[in-house]
Structure 1
Amino acid sequence: MYLGIDVHKRYAQVAVMDEAGKIVEEVRVENANLDDLAQRYAGAQAVLEATSNYYHIHDTLSEHLDVTVAHPKKINQIADTDKKTDRVDAKELARMLRLNSVPESYVPTEEVREARALVRGRQTLVENRTKYANKIHGLLSDHGITEDVKPLTVEGRESLRGLSIPTPFDTLLESYLDLIESLTEEIQKLDETIEERAGSLKETQLLMTIPGVSYYTALTIYAELGGIDRFDGDKEVVSYVGLNPVIRESGDSRIEGSISKRGSGRVRWLLVQAANTAVHTSNDEYLSRFYDRLASRKNSQKAIVAAARKMLVSIYHMLDRGEAYDPPGVTA
């Protein structure tokens, strides 16, 4: 039997197909009751898309079924239907599973999920803090205050509390400042947990031997890449992160354009920052020589992106071999 499961927030639409391709059951099930369905079809194959809430459902079903998780973007590209309803989607998933044509998505381990939750949670807090800082800048601009203030620093907040602006805007300003302080405290607490988690994992311990890679950067890279053994080589991991140049070929011409920017923008940004630190602050000879050679022929921004790509290649080989950062031993 092949179970196509179209998962939603509270329920799932399930289509059960037999070996001959015939639908033998269609049912809408509350997510909380999927375990009963899984037990009824124990040993069968099942497929569901990688939606926002699929972790728990995948783990529940996997106790009884052989579960495949489908990549949502790729499956939409190859699905043999123009209609989009729960029933149609569930049957299409079952059909593709029967034909062994499901584009699979990586299912992270519990350890990787926890790391992702930590670094992504921190990112959300930082974004919220920045939002309130921007609100303060807008509030000051509305009242003709153009002096450079920094709401994210203690000194900046003290200076802002000394400003005199009309009611009720003074109350708003105070509320924004209080929220920034509260968020800063929560970020600091989370930083302690992230540092502790990064220090406990062998992968992140290896990554922190790279000049310019902090505990937060290390845990983020680990969390977003997941198990390094799922990549076939350094080119695949570079493409996954979106640091690969887009190649355009026409006739005898071959043009290397900008990077693809697929995958995690957070990881790309952190790798570029780490490469900047390695080259300009930590005097990493391996990356510095590479950067200087490129910067003499291209602009500095392209050179530092290429250095970040070179660092990622090193990261792949470090994690693949279980070795600390040692550039002469890295096949880049």
Structure 2
Amino acid sequence: MKYYIGVDLGDKKNSVCVLDKNGTILIESTFENTPEAFREFLKPYKNSAVAIEASTHSLWINKLLVGLGIKVYIANPRKTALISQNNMKTDKVDARLLARLVRSDPELLYPVTTKDMSTQKDLTLIKSRDSLVKARGDLIRHLRGVIKPFGLRFPDDVTPDNIHEKGKEIFEKENFPAYKVLLDAIKALTSKIKVLDKQVASLINKKYPEAKNLQTINGVGPITSLTFVLLMG
């Protein structure tokens, strides 16, 4: 390789350090975190190895750089102790260290592989469902909490599916404000979660039969099995 490049990824702007084959710093700079900016910056550095850290942006950046014919190393941020424990940690320093590591020994980056775009998109289904479940759980816990100071509690048989009706009985009787909005929100979230559950089942049937096989194990359902296949497959 003629050039060794470390890029410390930011959400909007990246810090970059370029070394030559002798380890001399040629340039330290910043550029926008966009495909266009990446292409423009890397134009003079075709014969290069680039090190980035695994992040929410590393998937599309890896695809872009590989398409440009550049060797990409995605560093495992949990393993690169040299970077994470650096007392002088700044974006500029991180970029410089990434460049030096990829030049001296790429294995020190503990490089990880990225999942393909299709798998990553399928994972968003699981993550989106998780977000809805968390939001619903937060609302239910809130409702449980607001009635406790009044010596009230939901019946033991309350579930996300029936809390709208059972909760309504309690809140109407005690004339609590805002309860209807919260119960309606829980009901709406439950409905949307069921929509995503159907999409999960459809995805398993169409693309991931191995996830269906995992469901023969006691206690393993569609969500768990698909998550396992997507993360470990």
Bin the TM-score by the shorter chain: 0.7 to 0.9
Indicate whether 1:26 and 2:28 are aligned: yes
Q: Structure 2 length normalisation: TM-score?
A: 0.87
What is the rounded CA distance, in whole Å, between the counterparts of 2:72 and 2:201 in structure 1?
Answer: 34
What is the rounded CA distance, in whole Å, between the counterparts of 2:154 and 2:64 in structure 1?
Answer: 56
The equivalent position to 2:79 in structure 1, one of 66, 69, 74, is 74
Structure 1 residues not aligned, in runs of 5+: 228-332
Contact 1:49 1:72 in 2 (8 A): yes
In the alignment, what sits opposite 1:93?
Answer: 98
Residues 254-265 of structure 1 correspond to what in structure 2 (within 5 A)?
A: none
In the alignment, what sits opposite 2:53?
Answer: 49
What is the rounded CA distance, in whole Å, between the counterparts of 1:219 and 1:191 in structure 2?
Answer: 11
The verdict on how the C-alpha distance between 1:222 and 1:39 changes in structure 2, with shifts beyond 3 A counting, is farther
The equivalent position to 1:180 in structure 2, one of 183, 186, 197, is 186
The equivalent position to 2:14 in structure 1, one of 9, 12, 15, is 12
| Higher relative contact order, chain-length normalized (CA < 8 Å, sep 6+) | 2
Deviation >6 Å, runs of 4+: none
Residues 1-332 of structure 1 correspond to what in structure 2 (within 5 A)?
A: 1-32=3-34, 33-64=37-68, 65-75=70-80, 77-79=81-83, 81-100=86-105, 101-148=108-155, 150=158, 152-154=160-162, 156-163=163-170, 164-166=173-175, 169-171=176-178, 173-199=179-205, 200-225=207-232, 227=233
Listed one character per residue, the Cα deviations across residues 175-217 of structure 1 (whole Å, up to 9, x for unaligned) are: 2111111111111111111111112224324433444432222
Give the residue type in structure 2 aligned to 1:63.
G
Describe the SS at the equivalent of 2:28. Answer: strand
Cα drift, residue 145 of structure 1: 1.2
What is the rounded CA distance, in whole Å, between the counterparts of 1:43 and 1:112 in structure 2?
Answer: 30
Contact 1:31 1:57 in 2 (8 A): no
Listed one character per residue, the Cα deviations across residues 139-182 of structure 1 (whole Å, up to 9, x for unaligned) are: 1113221352625122x32122123234xx332x1121111111
Cα drift, residue 61 of structure 1: 2.1
What is the rounded CA distance, in whole Å, between the counterparts of 1:147 and 1:183 in structure 2?
Answer: 19
What is the rounded CA distance, in whole Å, between the counterparts of 1:206 and 1:138 in structure 2?
Answer: 41
Aligned residues: 221
Contact 2:15 2:92 in 1 (8 A): yes
Q: Structure 1 length normalisation: TM-score?
A: 0.62
Contact 1:112 1:222 in 2 (8 A): no
